[in-house]
Amino acid sequence: MIPPIDLKRQYASIKDEIEAAVTRVLEGGWYILGEEVAAFEQEFAAYCGVAHAVGVGSGTDALHLALAACGVGPGDEVITVSHTAVATVAAIELAGARPVLVDVDPTCYTLDPGLLEAAITPRTRAVIPVHLYGCPADLGSILEIARRHDLLVVEDCAQAHGASYRGQRAGSLGHIAAFSFYPTKNLGACGDGGMVVTDDPGLAERARLLRQYGWRERYISSTKGLNSRLDELQAAILRVKLRHLEEWTQRRRSLARLYDERLAGSGVGTPGEPEDTTHVYHLYVVRHPRRDELRAFLRERGVGSLIHYPVPVHLQPAYRDLGYEAGDLPATEAAAREVLSLPLYPELRDEEVAAVSDAVLAFGRAA
């Protein structure tokens, strides 16, 4: 079986470095908000091209705290997409705001700027473009609309470590941004973790306060906060992996090009890379009107795959109270029926890409 992702391969490739970092933390005896977190925050901020980074407990927390740091709360509306991990919408509700969902561009699966303005109301405070699958959203258009309406732009970069738009790294273009270090991400921890990044020192300071009970001085809460801290072990592991991220990104892009070449004429839609963007292929997502049949065909031939995402947020039981119905977001709903994530990770071998592609081509011939 060729798995859709294999985290053990990555660990094996840098095992000695990871174990040395973990040993360093364990022997140091400081496990929460110490030197490793501080160093990783500086290194990751530099990587993203921003001034400030704040390590937190998860990507969901990063989005929640980014919104809270901006003052988004009850009575506010935040515009985002439904074709995303549910964490995006959950974070808006955690901040006390109301999610307003718009449709996606049917080619890149990111927020369609042409639909953004119509969703803005007097209560709209922010917009969250999701850089889905590693492809940056159309930030030029989104930022221009946001400026006209005095809206905050909070980038959801959970799948976009190292992606860029017009030469600037994802996370450096909006007012504030959130990253996830969930283990399967392009830069993944060995557990949960997240990061808030921004160029605004005031927003960074508020995020730091909010992640640890509002403390400026230990045990004295200057504002109401919570507990969401990136721990030292994860920071040490992420520091190791950050050194390899550019190499891994180039490998992902190389594998994506190989898929593109081999799947030409296969009958499946392959990912696009919009002009002025650098796609980092967190996922290699194809599209086919008989997606479920294709997935079963691949499974029978030893190829694993995943669906990102099978049910849009607006049609999930927990979010019926948002008031959306089937048919409201047609591009999103069509994508949910048709997209399929093929195996792609830096340790995937060229011959495995060939085997996956051959299986996809065989499905086309059998149709």
For residue range 195-250, list pLDDT tens digits in order. 999 999 999 999 999 999 999 999 999 999 999 999 999 999 999 999 999 999 99
pLDDT exceeds cutoff 80 at 256: yes
pLDDT exceeds cutoff 80 at 367: no
Q: Shortest CA distance to 181 belongs to which of 129, 144, 233?
A: 233
**pTM for the predicted model, two decimal places:** 0.98
Residue of higher predicted confidence among 365 and 314: 314
pLDDT of residue 222: 92
Q: How confident is the model at residue 365 (pLDDT cuts 50, 70, 90)?
A: confident
Q: How confident is the model at residue 366 (pLDDT cuts 50, 70, 90)?
A: confident
pLDDT > 90: what percent of the chain? 98
Q: How confident is the model at residue 332 (pLDDT cuts 50, 70, 90)?
A: very high
Burial of residue 337, with CB atoms counted within 10 A of its CB: 0-12 exposed, 13-18 middle, 19 or more buried: middle
Q: How confident is the model at residue 264 (pLDDT cuts 50, 70, 90)?
A: very high
Q: How is 315-333 classified by DSSP, letter by letter?
A: GSGGGGGG---TTSSHHHH
pLDDT of residue 265: 87
For residue range 40-67, list pLDDT tens digits in order. 999 999 999 999 999 999 999 999 999 9
pLDDT of residue 180: 98
8 A C-beta contact, residue 253 and residue 279: yes
Average model confidence (pLDDT) for the chain? 97
pLDDT exceeds cutoff 90 at 364: no
Question: Using the 8-state DSSP alphabet, how is residue 119 labeled?
Answer: H
For residue range 102-115, list pLDDT tens digits in order. 999 999 999 999 99
Contacts for 31 with CB less than 8 Å, ≥ 6 apart: 25, 231, 232, 233
Q: How many Å separate Cα 221 from the centre of its chain?
A: 31
Structural domains present in the chain: 7-102+109-242 (3.40.640.10), 245-366 (3.90.1150.10)
Q: What is the mean pLDDT of residues 29-39?
A: 97
For residue range 164-206, list pLDDT tens digits in order. 999 999 999 999 999 999 999 999 999 999 999 999 999 999 9
